[in-house]
Amino acid sequence: MTDHITRGRRDTRPLHYAALTDTVQMTVPESDMVRQRCRTIVTRLTGTALHDDRLLYAAEHLATHLPSRLRTKLLTLRDRGNVDGALLIKGLPIGELDDTPHHPSEEPAWWDVPVASLVQLSIMSILGSPISYAEEKAGQLIQDVYPQDGAEQKQENSGSVLLELHTEDGFLRTPPDYLSLLCLRSDHERRAATVACGIRRVLTGIPAEMLAILRRPRFQIAFSSSFVADSQPRWTQPLPVLTGPTDDPNLCVDLHGMVALDDQAEQALNVLQELMEANLVGGVLEPGELLIVDNNSAVHGRTDFTPHYDGRDRWLRRCFVTNNLRRVRADIINGRMLRSRERDTVPG
Ligand SMILES: O=C(O)CCC(=O)C(=O)O
Ligand SMILES: [Fe+2]
């Protein structure tokens, strides 16, 4: 049995990335129109919980007014995927902003950032149903992502060291199918790049014997510290990194929190890591840019940056969706908040 040494404890290193190719740019009139429509929803629903169906369905109806070019891109990502497992939407309205929060107590209610909240929910509703996990960030359906004083070294989105490539919540039985990150504010030096790599981009570079190993249950993932109440290390059962179709597999990996259970598995994971790091796409997100990651076929991470804690720090908002709410309905505690269950062992 492994001694469970995580692989991610290496020095910060530069990551190189190419610009994302699958992008949609909203025009100014399109963006203004969406902003106006958001305003009418806010007038009606301020004070309603984000988990309330009335609000979620209002966001879903709003999606019918998004430009058809954008809707088609989202539908294509949903149905066909793409080689990088990522889509960037630019020029979205985000509305007026206060200071970046420093602490959870300063995080805004959705009606304090209504345009950003509704735009993100509405876009994500084309890909699936928004969900959250009770154990993470109090089950908020849209989560504020900002650097936290004292958390700099953490491999979480509150940290500011290099956040290693990962599948989101890969240790759970029902991880999100897609996640989105909406940028409200970039970091001061514009260094913090969100990066991603799709498995389809690197598949042909992985030798056949390594592919076979990646399909065996010879890996374990540590639960993220945000999911473990007593901060005792907790590990999944052994699981494979790759499952499903040969030419379009599902990927579940965490380059910080995963251990390989033997030397061959470790070698295969190293090969995968090198290939993924050599084939990253991404960029420093600008206000009004929304990055969507297909969590079944791509990993994502973030380069390091320096927080200033002056109210003008980097600020993103994150939202997850499942593409099959029926499958997780028994786990719902409240609204769309799920009790988290550990990933089942999948035979390799
Ligand atoms: O901060 C970022 O760009 C990405 C953070 C991240 O991986 C996440 O919030 O899931
Ligand atoms: Fe993440």
Please give the Cα distance from 175 to 169 (Å, whole number).
Answer: 5
Q: Once rounded to an integer, what is the mean pLDDT over residues 277-288?
A: 98
Predicted confidence band of residue 11 (pLDDT cuts 50, 70, 90): low
Q: How many helices (H) and strands (E) does the chain have?
A: 8, 17
**Which residue has its alpha carbon closest to ligand 1 atom 8?**
157
Ligand 1 atom closest to residue 145's alpha carbon, by position in its atom list: 9
- Decide if 221 contacts 236 (C-beta within 8 A): yes
> How many other β-carbons are positioned within 10 Å of the β-carbon of residue 43?
9
- Decide if 176 contacts 318 (C-beta within 8 A): no
CA 44–ligand 1 middle distance (angstroms) = 32
CA 85–ligand 2 middle distance (angstroms) = 14
CA 166–ligand 2 middle distance (angstroms) = 6
Long-range contacts of 245-252, Cβ-Cβ distance < 8 Å, separation of 24 or more? 247/200, 247/203, 248/81, 248/200, 248/297, 249/199, 249/203, 249/297, 250/296, 250/297, 251/167, 251/199, 251/296, 251/297, 251/298, 251/299, 252/167, 252/170, 252/175, 252/221, 252/343
Ligand 1 atom closest to residue 193's alpha carbon, by position in its atom list: 3
Please give the Cα distance from 235 to 171 (Å, whole number).
Answer: 8
3-state helix, strand, coil in the chain (%, to 5): 30, 20, 50
Ligand nearest to the CA of 161: 1
Q: Is the CB of 289 under 6 A from ligand 1?
A: no
Ligand 1 atom closest to residue 316's alpha carbon, by position in its atom list: 1
Q: Is the CB of 196 under 6 A from ligand 1?
A: no
Say which residue the tokens 């294509």 belong to: 76
Of 14-23, 227-236, 291-300, least confident by mean pLDDT is 227-236
Please give the Cα distance from 114 to 111 (Å, whole number).
Answer: 4
Q: Is the CB of 165 under 6 A from ligand 1?
A: no
- Decide if 15 contacts 277 (C-beta within 8 A): yes
Q: Look at 126 and 227; give whichever has higher pLDDT.
A: 126
Does position 7 have pLDDT exceeding 80, yes or no? no
Please give the Cα distance from 25 to 10 (Å, whole number).
Answer: 37
Share of the chain above pLDDT 70, in %: 95
> What does pLDDT average to over the chain?
93
Q: Is the CB of 181 under 6 A from ligand 1?
A: yes
CA 320–ligand 1 middle distance (angstroms) = 12
CA 285–ligand 1 middle distance (angstroms) = 11
pLDDT tens-digit series, residues 242-263: 999 999 999 999 999 999 999 9
Q: Which residues contact 204 (CB under 8 A, 6 or more apart)?
A: none
- Decide if 241 contacts 272 (C-beta within 8 A): yes
Q: Is the CB of 182 under 6 A from ligand 1?
A: no
Q: Is the CB of 300 under 6 A from ligand 1?
A: yes
* pLDDT confidence of residue 3: 47
